[in-house]
Amino acid sequence: MTTRRLFANGPPRISHAMRALSLLLIPALCVSSLALAQPKPAAKPAAAAPPAASTSNTPKRIGKFEDWTAATHVEAGQTVCYAFTTAQSSVPPVSGRGDVNLTVTQRPPASRDAVAISAGFVFPATSVVAVQADAVSMEFYTAQRSAFARDGKVAVQAFLKSKQVLARSPNPKGGTVTDQFSTKGFTAAYAAINKACPVK
């Protein structure tokens, strides 16, 4: 059977509009097929959570022993143990003065029985603090806002045997200021820091 008999009026003609449309659709279909064939990109990973803040330098309380507190903190990767008490009275009062603390610190392995007073004000240059633990008298040297025992072992032994410690410091406003510290609980607090930071 000839083509002419199938199509009496000849094969159907494609209009110019249809031909233009087909030329536009074919490339579009090809692009769509290529897009479908390509693998989907991996999902973007969720942002990593920020690292937790380090708490290694945060002081950790060992315990409260009457008027003394024992605690630890990390210093240059080393555990430091200390016991401290706050002055029960200061005469005369000094306006604007910060806390007044007496502290005994163990820094293993070498530094033992470091005894210091935090005065709450800046000491005059080359001044000394007269410290009395019952019958034992000592002189602490000063630097900025702190006073330090020249012999910490002597100071600790005096604290262990006394009921109170008096520290007489030069008052920045003239005269002398006397701070009174209790030794109640010091023996237990001292034992606790020695247990937490033993001699090696």
Per-residue pLDDT at 85 exceeds 60: yes
Q: Tens of pLDDT along 36-74?
A: 344 443 333 333 333 333 345 789 999 999 999 999 999
Number of domains in the chain: 2
Q: Tens of pLDDT along 99-126?
A: 899 999 999 777 899 999 999 999 998 9
Q: What mean pLDDT comes out for the span 18-45?
A: 38
Strands (DSSP E) found in the chain: 60-65, 68-75, 78-86, 89-91, 101-107, 111-118, 128-133, 136-143, 146-149, 164-170, 176-182
Domain that holds residue 155: 60-196
Question: Do 143 and 71 fall within a single domain?
Answer: yes
Q: Is the pTM of this model over 0.75?
A: no
Question: Do 79 and 146 fall within a single domain?
Answer: yes
Within-domain flag for 89: yes
Q: How confident is the model at residue 3 (pLDDT cuts 50, 70, 90)?
A: very low
Q: What is the CATH number of the domain that holds 72?
A: 2.60.40.1880
